[in-house]
């Protein structure tokens, strides 16, 4: 994407797009953890639809489609990611299995009682856990499942640099128990939780992201918004390296009672 190379001065949205558009995943995660979470959630009912919400470029969409052998609808508000996912799915022979839809995860046009499984990695925080769970409830069939990852504190007294960074980057961040309680308040049974290991941040996400931002640093010299985006990523990685024991991405695996 040639964000901002012509016309109006490039802004923060263009800078974000420039950084993230070529990556194969845009948040912590791995196929191994996705599939381990899926196994823990079984049995998934059959006969209904499967959605991956906030799919990004679709790393987990492809893993799920391959594993389940069922059609999956991948939803995102970002067209660039959806177009890349189509190309990736076709390259893997999964073009028939993966459909994409440009929409918000809280404005799905699915019919009531039509969904067997809703998956969402690293995206629910954007709309809020309870708002998402509330919207999905009538769309899920009884016995239907939800799996989402959420960034949570693992301690009540996090180190100040981590607290300061995430207060700014994710003001709504809470703990594992708070998030479980939010799920229960919305009527769901919490089947299990599972923390993503540190490698899911480093290998799948931060290492390719670091290589990407090194190629972009020269362009940041006269692009203040890109400078700010790169600085925030640098800060996040520094906080992760120093303090990742105090926070984690956690899978919340839920079932709508039958
Ligand atoms: C941190 S990324 C995670 C993407 C992917 N699941 C992954 O782990 O690589 C969050 C994604 O949510 C998408 N997004 C933001 N707001 C959304 C919304 N309201 N509905 C659906 N997707 C949304 C973004 O475009 C982005 O692709």
State how far the alpha carbon of 213 is from the alpha carbons of 210, 217, 219, 230, 235, in Å: 5, 6, 10, 7, 13
* Per-residue pLDDT at 10: 75
* Per-residue pLDDT at 92: 98
Residue 70 sits at φ, ψ, to 5 deg, of -130, 155
Q: Measured in angstroms, how far is the CA atom of residue 190 from the centroid of ligand 1?
A: 23
* Per-residue pLDDT at 38: 98
* In 81-175, beta strands by DSSP E: 98-102, 115-120, 140-153
3-class DSSP state of 212: helix
**Which burial class, exposed, middle or buried, applies to 217 when counting CB atoms under 10 A from its CB (0-12, 13-18, 19+)?**
exposed
Q: Computed from CA positions of residues 182, 187, 188, 190, in that sequence, does the dihedral angle turn out positive or negative?
A: positive
Q: Measured in angstroms, how far is the CA atom of residue 122 from the centroid of ligand 1?
A: 7
The verdict on the CB of residue 149 being under 6 Å from ligand 1 is no
Residue 2 sits at φ, ψ, to 5 deg, of -100, 55
3-class DSSP state of 144: strand
Q: What angle do CA 183, 188, 193 make, to 5 degrees?
A: 60
The verdict on the CB of residue 28 being under 6 Å from ligand 1 is no
The verdict on the CB of residue 64 being under 6 Å from ligand 1 is no
- Cis peptide leading into 197, omega within 30 of 0? no
**Domains with residue ranges and CATH for the chain:** 26-151+173-196+249-253 (3.40.50.150)
**Could you tell me the end-to-end alpha-carbon distance of the chain, in angstroms, rounded to an integer?**
46
Q: Which two three-digit tokens encode residue 214?
A: 């090194």
Task: Give the residue whose CA is nearest to atom 19 of ligand 1.
Answer: 104
The verdict on the CB of residue 21 being under 6 Å from ligand 1 is no
The verdict on the CB of residue 55 being under 6 Å from ligand 1 is yes
Q: Measured in angstroms, how far is the CA atom of residue 56 from the centroid of ligand 1?
A: 5
* Per-residue pLDDT at 47: 96
The residue whose CB lies within 8 Å of the most ligand 1 atoms, and thus the one to mutate among 16, 26, 65, 127, is 26
Task: Give the residue whose CA is nearest to atom 3 of ligand 1.
Answer: 122
The verdict on the CB of residue 86 being under 6 Å from ligand 1 is no
The verdict on the CB of residue 52 being under 6 Å from ligand 1 is no
Per-residue pLDDT tens listing for the chain (258 residues): 333 334 444 789 999 999 999 999 999 999 999 999 999 999 999 999 999 999 999 999 999 999 999 999 999 999 999 999 999 999 999 999 999 999 999 999 999 999 999 999 999 999 999 999 999 999 999 999 999 999 999 999 999 999 999 999 999 999 999 999 999 999 999 999 999 999 999 999 999 999 999 999 999 999 999 999 999 999 999 999 999 999 999 999 999 999
């Amino acid at each position: 994407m040639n964000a901002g190379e012509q016309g109006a001065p490039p802004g923060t949205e263009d800078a974000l797009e420039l950084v993230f558009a070529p990556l194969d995943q845009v948040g912590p995660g791995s196929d191994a953890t996705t599939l381990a979470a899926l196994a823990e959630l079984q049995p998934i009912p059959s006969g209904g639809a499967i959605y991956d919400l906030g799919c990004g470029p679709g790393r987990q969409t492809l893993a799920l489609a391959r594993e389940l052998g069922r059609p999956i609808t991948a939803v995102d508000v970002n067209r660039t990611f959806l177009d890349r996912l189509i190309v990736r799915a076709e390259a893997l022979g999964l073009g028939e299995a993966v459909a994409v839809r440009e929409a918000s995860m809280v404005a799905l046009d699915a019919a009531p009682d039509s969904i067997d499984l809703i998956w969402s990695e690293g995206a629910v925080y954007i709309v809020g856990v309870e708002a998402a769970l509330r919207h999905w409830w009538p769309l899920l069939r009884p016995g239907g499942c939800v799996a989402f990852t959420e960034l949570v504190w693992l301690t009540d007294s996090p180190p100040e640099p981590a607290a300061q960074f995430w207060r700014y980057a994710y003001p709504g961040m809470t703990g594992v128990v708070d998030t479980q309680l939010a799920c229960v308040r919305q009527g769901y049974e919490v089947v299990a939780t599972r923390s993503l290991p540190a490698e899911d941040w480093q290998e799948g996400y931060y290492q390719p992201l670091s290589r990407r931002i090194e190629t972009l640093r020269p362009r940041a010299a006269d692009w203040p918004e890109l400078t700010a985006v790169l600085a925030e990523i640098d800060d996040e990685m520094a906080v992760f390296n120093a303090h990742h024991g105090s926070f984690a991405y956690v899978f919340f695996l839920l079932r709508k009672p039958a």
